[in-house]
């Protein structure tokens, strides 16, 4: 991204008041892709535009542990605790962190409320994709796709079309 310039404000200029559509921006909050300070600065500059993104790859579900080589398409990758790199390099191949872990990191980085963190994880993306109010909220007539979380933002249940689709095991 280019730096702000008074003659060509580039993307940063969209944050200024004016007749523009609300700008949205994606943040990968895994502690690797985006520094905590950059996340906090972006959020506090324009909280209504924050959209949390996972960048998770298929290796996220691997049970082999950190440092285990695996494949991502035709690439050999090494899986860490939060991310994967192309084997033999430091080049990021993607995240292997669960989305709700990223929501918790976002909340810690920004010191926002639980509601604000969940809005960045759901409502803002629905607005950006022009599927709100069908998605991203629980209004009359919405699709009723939602999660139940505890005070630490751990997912306890997932509902799709108002029906329980997944429930966390009691043993966890």
Whether 55 sits among the annotated catalytic residues: the reply is yes
- Which letter does DSSP use for residue 161 in this model? T
pLDDT at 64: 64
DSSP code per residue over 15-67 = GSSSSSPPP-EEEE-SSSSS-HHHHHHHHHH-GGGEEEE--B-GGGG--S-TT
Q: What does the pLDDT look like over 118-146, one tens digit per residue? A: 999 999 999 999 999 999 999 999 999 99
Q: How many residues does the chain have?
A: 172
Sign of CA dihedral 26, 150, 105, 64: negative
Q: What is the pLDDT confidence band of residue 5, given thresholds at 50, 70 and 90?
A: confident
The candidate with the shortest Cα–Cα distance to 115, out of 78, 151, 168, 67, is: 151
Strands 25-28 and 50-53, bridge-based pairing: parallel
Is residue 72 situated within a structural domain?
Answer: yes
Is residue 105 situated within a structural domain?
Answer: no
Is residue 77 situated within a structural domain?
Answer: yes
Is residue 24 situated within a structural domain?
Answer: no
For the chain, the domain total comes to 1
Q: What does the pLDDT look like over 80-107, one tens digit per residue? A: 888 999 999 999 999 999 999 999 999 9
Pick from 11-25, 38-52, 148-162: least confident:
11-25
What is the chain's Cα-based Rg? 18
Pick from 9-13, 46-50, 122-126, 140-144: least confident:
9-13
Is residue 9 situated within a structural domain?
Answer: no
Q: What is the pLDDT confidence band of residue 11, given thresholds at 50, 70 and 90?
A: confident
Domain that holds residue 82: 56-96
The candidate with the shortest Cα–Cα distance to 53, out of 105, 110, 17, 112, is: 105
Kindly name the residue from 30, 55, 62, 151 that is annotated as catalytic.
Answer: 55
Is residue 129 situated within a structural domain?
Answer: no
């Amino acid at each position: 991204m280019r730096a702000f310039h008074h003659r060509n404000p580039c993307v940063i200029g969209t944050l200024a008041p004016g007749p523009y559509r609300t700008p949205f921006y994606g943040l990968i909050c895994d502690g690797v892709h985006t520094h905590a300070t950059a996340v906090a600065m972006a959020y506090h500059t324009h909280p209504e535009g924050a959209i949390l993104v996972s960048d998770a790859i298929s290796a996220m579900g691997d049970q082999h542990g950190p440092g285990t080589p695996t494949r991502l398409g035709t690439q050999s990758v090494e899986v860490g605790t939060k991310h994967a790199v192309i084997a033999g390099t430091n080049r990021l191949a993607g995240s292997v962190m669960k989305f709700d872990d990223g929501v918790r990191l976002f909340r810690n980085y920004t010191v926002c409320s639980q509601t604000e963190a969940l809005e960045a994880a759901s409502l803002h993306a629905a607005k950006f994709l022009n599927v709100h109010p069908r998605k991203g909220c629980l209004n009359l007539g919405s699709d009723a796709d939602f999660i139940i979380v505890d005070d630490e933002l751990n997912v306890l249940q997932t509902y799709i079309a108002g029906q329980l689709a997944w429930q966390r095991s009691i043993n966890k």
